[in-house]
Amino acid sequence: MLQNMRNASQHWLGKIVLTIVFTFLIAGVAIFGVEEFFRGGSTTAVATVGKTPITAEAVRTAYQNQLQRYQAQLRRNLTPDQARALGLERQVLSQLVTEASLDQKSRDLGLAVSDAAVLRAIHDEKSFQNAEGKFEPALFYQTLQRAGIGEATFVREQRAVIARLQLAEAVAADLTVPQALRAGVHRYTTERRAASYLTLTPSVAGEVADPSEDELKTYYDANKGAYRAPEYRSLSLLVLDPEALAKPDAVGEEDARKAYDAQRSRFGSPERRTIQQIVFPDEAAAEAARKQIESGETPFEAVAVARGVDAKELSLGSLTKAELFDPAVAEAAFALQQNAVSQPVKGRFGTVLLRVTAITPETIKPFAEVEPEIRKAIASERARTGVETLHDAVEDQRAGAKPLADIAKEKSLPLVAIAAVDAQGNDPSGAKVAGIPDADATLPAAFRSDVGSDNEALRTKAGGYVWFDVVKIEPAHDKPLADVKDEVVKGWKAAEVNRRLAAKGKTLAERLDKGEPIDSLGTELGLNVDKAEDLARNQPKDALSADIVNRVFATAVDKAASAPEGDKRVVFKVTSATMPAYVPGTQTDKTIETQFRTAVADDVLGEYIAEVQKNAGVSVNQAAFKRALGGEY
């Protein structure tokens, strides 16, 4: 975490949002622990940390910034209910409380960041530098303007973040990982075990007869949840899909040809040239070499060798004009005839002579071949533009309480009727319901709504919209035993097989612990005895899953145990355990130290921030907090 903070601090935008890192550092305290301090008060501040107030304006600004970030990631607007479900307001409050706590601690310790340090940080920021690597005031102001950040706000925040980072570095930088911890990790990761085992299949349980009515009812009553019908909802969906609205046939040939002429390079391969280049210290040297080459006195390759260029490095490769970084070189190279040598060219990295050794001509597909593709692209673009117009028209009619079915009919839009769907998108038969756009977003919204609710349109990943109405809700309920009897009988039999295998496994493990050879037990049961060597924690091996392997590591050497494996059961005896000696200072030990240094630093920093908040004192005015967010909290 501390390393992430250091990395973030290398970029101005990272510095602006760096404080979000602190939110996650103290998630347990800042998100939940702050609840203990929640109490009303007469202060007009939303919260107070020590002597540092958090204003309503700061809360509103932070909330809007966080909301915009979420909406950009999700590519759709969020309603207040959706934002609340994501815990947005708590994240914002936690962030502001954390920042204020660290600022208060910085002041208590007398930490300050000088104007010179802030100015140096701004001048060193790459985003504010020109091509020569020098600070450009115009670029600085343009960048802040695009980000919507004022100069004073940026400088103030920059100063605060530098102070917070310095404090964090002082607390958690360059911590030592204790040798006891490194030794423990070494033992955990390098220990290897071996075991012999039997696999009990369901056949070992014997024939399982059907249960009696009383047994079946008892099992059903104990496992009703497994046979419970989920909540189903009937939905009406009005779908506005740009692709469905696109009408390629309505695109005229003239428009298609204009698009073809404007984007010819899209419909083929651009010209490529194999280019050789020799760099010279100045124009005079390049001109002298060019004359030697033109007169036939010295070949192009010989000039290159004389300039210290290896023949293998002479060619720049087969490139398009756009792939050449230097515009001057690109213009000169693509103006040459094949095998001709250029005049001296003043490029970005010196004066050069060029020679083109091969030319692959441009290839362009004829209009007739790509016309359908062009028409479709134009139609899709027009549809995306028309989607917003249609969206506004539908919203106007929705405001007048017009049913979705009537709107769909009037606007010739598809109306999808879903008879019954659960929250996972399945119908009562268990099959996936088709026709729900962006089901991962649409279904959660529909299951948060209710019959008759006025729901906002959802933005789809394709750039369209979907409106939905909840027509009917069938609550979740227990299915009667008579309706699921076959499933219950099947479940009872599976449980009975598992019970018998568990009992058998326990008996066999006890016999192994008493000294009976596992080979004898295998012969008795008609089962093969398998052996597993070089077992490592959390790693499956042969027929043993990772869970079984971990049970092997939880069992003492020369002891036996059993564990379930799907519908089977594995009975095993641990035969050996080996571990290389721990030697401090080895490369393995250094690797462990490197890996855990960050984790130790994160833990220390998290504890420190929690203690800072506790000592500073945090109080939150719930009423003011609610007012700051417009009563949506």
Q: What gap in Å lies between CA 610 and CA 237, rounded to an integer?
A: 48
- Using the predicted structure, report yes or no on whether residue 153 has a pLDDT greater than 80: no
Give 232's contacts (C-beta < 8 A, 6+ positions apart).
Answer: 420, 421, 422, 428, 473, 474
What are the tens digits of pLDDT across the range 285-329? 999 999 988 888 888 888 888 887 776 678 888 888 888 878 898
Last residue of one domain, picked from the residues 423, 457, 475: 475
Give the rounded distance of the alpha carbon of 307 from its chain centre: 50
pLDDT score of 20: 38
Sign of CA dihedral 459, 463, 467, 470: negative
| Cα–Cα distance for residue pair 1/306, rounded to 1 Å | 53
The residues, any chain, with a CB within 8 Å of residue 192's CB and separated by 6 or more, are 534, 535, 536, 577, 578, 579
Polymer length in residues for the chain: 633
Say yes or no: 160 and 215 in one domain. Answer: no
Q: What pLDDT is attached to residue 631?
A: 56
pLDDT higher than threshold 50 for residue 65: yes
Could you tell me what percent of the chain has a pLDDT over 90?
36
The two three-digit tokens of residue 178, written as one number: 């204790």
Q: How many domains does the chain have?
A: 4
Is the domain of 56 the same as that of 161?
yes
Is 248 contained in some domain? no
pLDDT value, residue 126: 83
* Contact assessment for residue 141 and residue 151, using Cβ atoms and an 8 Å cutoff: yes
Distance CA 556, CA 576 (A): 9
Residue 573 β-bridge partners: 196, 560
Name which of 281, 398, 295 is nearest 344 in CA terms. Answer: 281
Same domain? For 297 and 196 the reply is: no
Q: How confident is the model at residue 44 (pLDDT cuts 50, 70, 90)?
A: low
Global pTM exceeds 0.75: no
- In the DSSP assignment, the letter for residue 345 is E
| pLDDT for position 160 | 84
3-state secondary structure of 529: coil
The closest alpha carbon to 524, from 508, 510, 535, belongs to: 508
Residue 207 lies in a domain: yes
Average pLDDT value for the chain = 84
**pLDDT given at position 521:** 95
CA torsion through residues 492, 493, 498, 503, sign: positive
Q: Are residues 213 and 236 in the same domain?
A: no
Domain co-membership, 76 together with 33:
yes
Residue (of 620, 461, 456) closest to 80 by Cα position: 456
463 shares its domain with 510: no
Task: For residues 385 and 392, give the distance between their C-alpha atoms in angstroms, rounded to a whole number.
Answer: 12
Q: What is the CATH number of the domain that holds 36?
A: 1.10.4030
What is the pLDDT confidence band of residue 383, given thresholds at 50, 70 and 90?
low
Residue 633 has pLDDT above 70, yes or no: no
Domain shared by 17 and 78, yes or no: yes
55 burial class (0-12, 13-18, 19+ CB within 10 angstroms)?
middle
Whether 354 and 300 have beta carbons less than 8 Å apart is answered as: no
Contacts of 470 (CB under 8 A, 6+ apart): 233, 234, 235, 446, 449, 450, 451, 452, 453, 455
Question: What is the rounded CA–CA span in Å between residue 159 and residue 114?
Answer: 8
Asked if residue 427 lies in contact with residue 234, where contact means CB atoms within 8 angstroms, the answer is: no
Residue 122, sorted as left (phi over 0), alpha (psi -120 to 50) or beta, turns out to be: alpha
The tokens 């208590």 sit on which residue?
A: 108
pLDDT at 399 over 90: no
Span 118-140, pLDDT tens digits = 888 888 888 888 877 888 777 78
In a domain, 507, yes or no: yes
pLDDT given for residue 42 in this prediction? 42
Rounded CA separation 332/302 (Å): 22
- Tell me 29's DSSP state: I
Task: Please state the three-class secondary structure of 436-465 as a single string.
Answer: CCCHHHHHHHHHHCCCCCCCCCEECCCCCE
Does 42 map to a domain? yes
Q: Name the least confident of 2-16, 39-53, 203-217, 428-442.
A: 2-16
Give pLDDT tens digits for 574-603: 999 999 999 999 988 888 888 888 888 888
Which of 475, 494, 525 delimits the end of a domain? 475
In a domain, 517, yes or no: yes
Nearest Cα neighbor of 355 from 316, 306, 320 is 316
**Helix, coil or strand: residue 593:** helix
pLDDT at 15: 43
Residue type, 247: K
Residue 629's nearest CA partner among 78, 40, 46 is 46
Whether 586 is covered by a domain: the verdict is: no
pLDDT at 513 over 90: yes
Q: How far apart are CA 519 and CA 165, in angstroms?
A: 64
- Residues 455 and 526 occupy one common structural domain: no
Q: Which residue has the tokens 């208060």?
A: 104
Q: What pLDDT sits at residue 106?
A: 85
Q: How far is CA 43 from the centre of its chain?
A: 40
pLDDT tens-digit readout, 468-481: 999 999 999 999 99
> Which residues contact residue 520 at a Cβ distance below 8 angstroms, ignoring those fewer than 6 apart?
none
- Dihedral over Cα of 397, 403, 407, 410: its sign: negative
* 95 shares its domain with 58: yes
Domain encompassing residue 470: 231-240+395-475
Burial class (CB within 10 angstroms; exposed 0-12, middle 13-18, buried 19+) of 4: middle
Residues 149 and 295 grouped into a single domain: no
**φ, ψ at 43 (rounded to 5°):** -65, 150
Q: For residue 384, which amino acid is it?
A: R
- Is 592 inside any structural domain? no
Euclidean distance between CA atoms 76 and 601, whole angstroms: 37
In a domain, 120, yes or no: yes
Q: What confidence score (pLDDT) does residue 7 get?
A: 46
Are 404 and 431 within one domain?
A: yes
Rounded (10°) angle between helices 587-616 and 151-172 = 120
Enclosing H/E stretch for 545 = none
Residue 499's closest CA among 205, 258, 186?
Answer: 205
Q: DSSP string of 294-314?
A: HHTSS-HHHHHHHTT--GGGS
Alpha helices, DSSP H, located in 109-178: 115-124, 137-147, 151-172
The answer to whether residues 28 and 162 belong to one domain is yes
3-class SS of residue 539: coil
Q: How far apart are CA 391 and CA 389, in angstroms?
A: 5
Pairing of strands 465-474, 232-240: antiparallel
C-beta separation of 193 from 574 below 8 A = yes
Q: Please state, in angstroms and rounded to a whole number, the distance separating the CA atoms of residues 567 and 71.
A: 45
Give the residue among 93, 59, 98 at the shortest CA–CA distance from 630: 59
